[in-house]
Structure 1
Amino acid sequence: MKSILKYKFLFLTSVFFVFSACEDDLNVEPNTALSEFDFLNNPENATNLVNGVYNKQLDYNMYSFSWIGITSITSDDADKGSTSTDTGTDKHKLDNLTFDATDISFNDVWEGRYAGIYRANNALFYLEQLTIDANLKNRLIGEVKFLRALYYFDLVRCFGGVPLVTSKIDINDTETINDVVFNRKTKEQTYALIETDLLDAIERLPLKSQYSNNDLGRATKGSAQALLAKAYLYQTKWQSAYDMSGNVIASSQYSLLTDYAKVWRESGENGTESIYEVQASLTNGLRDYTNVQGPRGTPDLGWGFNTPSLNLVNSYQSGDVRKAGTVMFVPSTLWDGFQAPTSWTNPRYNYKAYQSQSAESWNGDKGNTAKNLRILKYSDILLIRAESAFQLGFSGEAKDRVNELRTRAGLDPLTSVDLAQILNERRWEMAMEHDRWFDLVRTGRAQSVMALDGKTFIIGKHELFPIPSEQIIASGGRLTQNPGY
């Protein structure tokens, strides 16, 4: 999949297409314009269409600095990092919860997801017209539906109800753009679309084991089920979350890796714990994810942002191996033998974002790495099952699922479990993985937890991030702002 997903599909008009390949695998010269007739009668183009939807995930405005900022630096798990004078444009404001609608991070996240949705809608439009094997078409449609749901899931968690664009849009059709692109729907309507897309994808997609090695990393039935279980969790649809997470567990496609520390290393990519990852390669890498969080100083491995907080470090129980697998301490000897020196600026860095230059794929380009980004993991599913089980009164199963994670973490099993313990396990298991802020908001604990971290969370405002000012201006004021901004 790492080699398959190296193509970027660029939509130019409703008639002409350009495919640009990073290498020479496509039998289409770069910048060759194809007529719509030629395109629709070449079955090979179907996969390339869908690869373009995947490839958007590698871009800077998807999972890089801005996403790291609003999902992690905002939380009590992380501090801004870098140096006191390096604000990262708006990352100091995110860290202090003093952000506003003009900050660049929100516009990046908005534009990145809608660019992905735009590609998804175009891919679905043309897939329906392509004359290709019916089974392949069915699977590819399922993959795109999963990706579109994932992009909307990011948006609804950040902004609440958003415009729901579900079809190919003519960029010159002002009336449709005003009615659809610049018209926010409710949070409930947004989740309804996510559920519809994922239920459709579940019916179309194969199990992980049914893919060939060349296609490993594509969306699977388990990917769609896992994301749907998570969407149900965020809506407190406990029975649905319980049932859907149970489907993933019962599929026997996934299991925990023995060594927690290896989950985020190259050796753990697409392993038994992986349900969905952003696929990266040396020729088409993940833009600046590791660079943003790499240790700053001498030797220089990155920008030094998003450093694990002392609050997080002190929260772990004694003997929990997840602390050592999450937090890179300075000084120390890293897992690949590299000596983390005192000449680095900060005392801690995100170990899960570390890119080894000696023991993993490396070409010297810190801003374009082959490190995959984990989006959905089996451990997350166990936590969803545990939380929903507890809410339904199945405390025995909740305890059992939590103890699966505690056993791997080197901790004694619990004899009973309450909600606070389940949520603590979620924090430790998923630390620095971009869920902590959303977990605090959805469980209603954000104000009290942020206060303990010296931050002021304003009820009625900070549950959502602001709609970017640039988008409101572009809409001519049609897009409405979230409360408090």
Structure 2
Amino acid sequence: MKNSIYKNRMVLKTLLIFFTGIVLVSCSDDILDKQPLDAISESAVFNDPTFLQNYVYNSYNGIRPPWKPGTGGYIGLTDIAVAEETHNSASGIREYLAGNLTPDNVTDFTNMWNEEFDYLRRINVFFEQTEDSDIDKGQLDPMTGEMHFIRAWIYFDLSRIYGGVPIITKSFKLDDESFDIARNTYDEVAQFVVDECNLSIELLDGIDAVPGKVSKGAAMALKARMLLYMASPLNNPTNDQAKWQAAAVATKAVIDAGYSLHPTHEDLFLQPLKSDEIIFGKSFTTGNRIPDWGYNYDFWPAGFDARQRLCPTQTFVNMFQMDNGEYPYLEDGITVNPASGYDPQDPNVNRDPRYYSYIIYPGAGPMSIIDGAKSTTRLYEFWEDANPNPDNNPPYQNPNKVDKFNGQELFDFGRDSQTYWIKGLTPFFYRINTGYTFKKLLDFSGPRASFDFDYNQVVIYMRLAEFYLNYAEIQMALGNEDVAREYINKVRKRPSVNMPDITSSGTELEREYKSERAVELHLEDSRFFDLMRWKDAPGKVDLGPIRGLTSVTMDWTGAKEGDPLGTLHYTYGEISGPDPRAPWPGDFYYLFPIPKEEIQRSNNTLEQNPGY
């Protein structure tokens, strides 16, 4: 364990040298004259407010980004998204889906334990070194509040992945007698998070909120989120109502803190950070943008020179209601809801406005997409068009509709591209395509991937809409369905959405709440952990097989010059490409195993999670 959780304090010197490059542009001349920049002492860092603030900023990197593990985060493990096959193999996702996650292979999937305890060590060094600091209290207290928040966030994230973990509040030195530290219980870790948030709230009280920095509101929100997790079925098996009450008080405090829903939902994830709704988020510059060119690289629609690593499932698409407030399908996902007015052969009309903002579906557009030789303004086809006719010039009947090798009738649209890809006539083809693409986090103002383009995306960690939904869930647990409906409907009444109020109760209200939460918060590091804390995997949420569009063809009969589309024909069914999802292995799978090497390094002081 001394090689991972409790690293040599000498690593700090490397970290201090690294800071010189960070703080160079912000240091005043008198500071720069004090000593060579390649030899900043530990004392200088912890007694100079500029250097120290940059030490704090570096610690923000301990807040796991929502796209780890792998772009898209954990959502590819849920019912609403599926990850491309080679991506699964590379990131260890395949082992999880197959029910084969073990202490031996968990680090292939996520290196959370090692990475996060390393940041906790750095944070503990901060507290030790600033205990008797000469820095003015008005400058030091806000930084200390930020560090309490970051430590709380890391422990919150560790607790929802592993359950109880060791609470470490001091750094370790080479001459310490033992590194064999036992795990704390989940309840102890959760209470530690709450206590850290309370310290952060106190220290940041009266400090003006700055977009991208930890604020009092952010600390209040993290506390409320932790209390919700503590009250949830996974961690509250007796349904202790006092835990729900505590979550209610903390969540209502966030709601009453002065935030408001941004009037439009389409631009929430584009710069600048929308400080009216976003409680804690992060923007980027050309120097620190999301790795691999950002979400564009992995969510970019296939057919526009892209690999499209992550796709929405038909299950998720079906969660978007019609604009009359009815679901297109009944709960089985196959039988059309007769009250909805939905037509499976005309599926993209009269839907929740968020559907058009968040999902790219066959025929969507026209979209102006800048990328490579295929850059053009055209409708979305979910595989590369084998015989493009971008100007829609006559004849509309494609002369190459019949494959001369097998006589099969082909169309200028959709999955006929598989045939042409096999022959090497189209450049991109991926086996997992469900027919849909996520649109929520894409930035089409520039190319798919370029080191030279300053992309506009932001990362949102917490925003008001989540806490409206959290409060609704808490009120359902407390038996107050009227209040629950009120807060769900607040989200639905955002001016750019304006969906009908929900009026359901009981199990139907629960279904509508969970669907609403999936629609509103997808790709925000929520769905996977929601399913876990709800204990919704076995028998409640169907994690497989994956369903989507198995065929989309276009009939140009009757089309006139200038018509953007002929008549589309849709076939729905199981998608054969993704790695098969094994039956739920058992309730032990609600938590991940502790890496085997960490158990060994602790001389077996750490106890493994049950079932592994």
Using structure 2 for the length normalisation, give the TM-score: 0.68
Q: State how far apart, in whole Å, the 2-side matches of 1:204 and 1:25 are.
A: 28
Q: Is 2:468 the counterpart of 1:413?
A: no
1:457-468 aligned within 5 A? 457-468=584-595
* Structure 1 counterpart of 2:191: 192
Q: Aligned pair in 2 of structure 1 residues 297, 317: CA closer, same or farther (>3 Å)?
A: closer
1:357-376 aligned within 5 A? 357-358=445-446, 364-365=450-451, 371-376=457-462
| Deviation at residue 377 of structure 1 after TM alignment | 1.0
Q: Aligned pair in 2 of structure 1 residues 326, 111: CA closer, same or farther (>3 Å)?
A: farther
Which structure has more helix as a fraction of its residues?
A: 1
Q: Aligned pair in 2 of structure 1 residues 263, 375: CA closer, same or farther (>3 Å)?
A: same
1:168-220 alpha-carbon deviations (Å, 9 max, x no partner): 222x24534223xxx21111111011011011111111468x23xxx421111
Asked if structure 2 preserves the Cα contact closer than 8 Å seen for 1:73 and 1:80, the reply is yes
Q: State how far apart, in whole Å, the 2-side matches of 1:259 and 1:437 are.
A: 26
Q: State how far apart, in whole Å, the 1-side matches of 2:162 and 2:88 are.
A: 27
Q: State how far apart, in whole Å, the 2-side matches of 1:327 and 1:124 are.
A: 45
2:311 partner SS: strand
Q: State how far apart, in whole Å, the 2-side matches of 1:191 and 1:239 are.
A: 16
1:326-475 aligned within 5 A? 326-329=358-361, 332-333=364-365, 339=378, 340=380, 342-343=383-384, 345=430, 346=433, 347-358=435-446, 364-365=450-451, 371-408=457-494, 409-417=497-505, 418-451=509-542, 453-454=544-545, 455=581, 456-475=583-602
| Deviation at residue 427 of structure 1 after TM alignment | 1.8
* Structure 2 counterpart of 1:242: 248
| Deviation at residue 274 of structure 1 after TM alignment | 0.6
* Structure 2 counterpart of 1:226: 221
Q: State how far apart, in whole Å, the 2-side matches of 1:30 and 1:156 are.
A: 42
Q: State how far apart, in whole Å, the 2-side matches of 1:95 and 1:307 are.
A: 16
Q: State how far apart, in whole Å, the 2-side matches of 1:473 and 1:293 are.
A: 36
| Deviation at residue 317 of structure 1 after TM alignment | 1.0
Unaligned runs of 5+ in 1: 1-9
Greater Cα radius of gyration, structure 1 or 2? 2
Q: State how far apart, in whole Å, the 1-side matches of 2:367 and 2:269 are.
A: 12
Asked if structure 1 preserves the Cα contact closer than 8 Å seen for 2:268 and 2:274, the reply is no
Asked if structure 2 preserves the Cα contact closer than 8 Å seen for 1:294 and 1:354, the reply is yes
Asked if structure 2 preserves the Cα contact closer than 8 Å seen for 1:78 and 1:432, the reply is no
Q: Is 2:93 the counterpart of 1:91?
A: yes
1:448 partner SS: coil
1:51-200 aligned within 5 A? 51-57=57-63, 62-66=65-69, 71-81=74-84, 83=85, 87-101=89-103, 102-170=105-173, 172-179=174-181, 183-200=182-199
* Structure 1 counterpart of 2:312: 308
Q: Is 2:267 the counterpart of 1:262?
A: yes
Asked if structure 2 preserves the Cα contact closer than 8 Å seen for 1:264 and 1:353, the reply is yes
1:328-377 alpha-carbon deviations (Å, 9 max, x no partner): 33553377666555326433333233233439xx9823999663321111
Asked if structure 2 preserves the Cα contact closer than 8 Å seen for 1:328 and 1:348, the reply is yes
Asked if structure 2 preserves the Cα contact closer than 8 Å seen for 1:308 and 1:349, the reply is yes
1:426-456 alpha-carbon deviations (Å, 9 max, x no partner): 2221122221121112122221234363442
| Deviation at residue 137 of structure 1 after TM alignment | 1.3
Identity level (%): 24
* Structure 2 counterpart of 1:484: 611
* Structure 2 counterpart of 1:21: 21
1:461 partner SS: helix
Aligned residues: 459
1:374-426 alpha-carbon deviations (Å, 9 max, x no partner): 11111111011111122223322211111111223332112354333322222
2:224 partner SS: helix
1:279-323 alpha-carbon deviations (Å, 9 max, x no partner): 43211222245266333756445x532322221112221122233
Supply the RMSD in Å over aligned alpha carbons: 3.1
1:277 partner SS: strand
Asked if structure 2 preserves the Cα contact closer than 8 Å seen for 1:161 and 1:188, the reply is yes
Q: State how far apart, in whole Å, the 2-side matches of 1:107 and 1:390 are.
A: 34
Q: What letter corresponds to residue 286 of structure 1 in structure 2? A: I
Asked if structure 1 preserves the Cα contact closer than 8 Å seen for 2:69 and 2:91, the reply is no
1:137 partner SS: helix
| Deviation at residue 467 of structure 1 after TM alignment | 1.3
Q: State how far apart, in whole Å, the 2-side matches of 1:160 and 1:25 are.
A: 41
Asked if structure 2 preserves the Cα contact closer than 8 Å seen for 1:73 and 1:94, the reply is no
* Structure 2 counterpart of 1:5: none
Q: State how far apart, in whole Å, the 1-side matches of 2:533 and 2:121 are.
A: 28
Q: What letter corresponds to residue 281 of structure 2 in structure 1? A: E
User: Which stretch has the larger CA shift, 423-432 or 102-111?
Assistant: 102-111
Q: What letter corresponds to residue 200 of structure 1 in structure 2? A: L
| Deviation at residue 140 of structure 1 after TM alignment | 1.1
Asked if structure 2 preserves the Cα contact closer than 8 Å seen for 1:255 and 1:273, the reply is yes
1:275-286 aligned within 5 A? 275-286=279-290
1:157-176 alpha-carbon deviations (Å, 9 max, x no partner): 01111111122222x24534
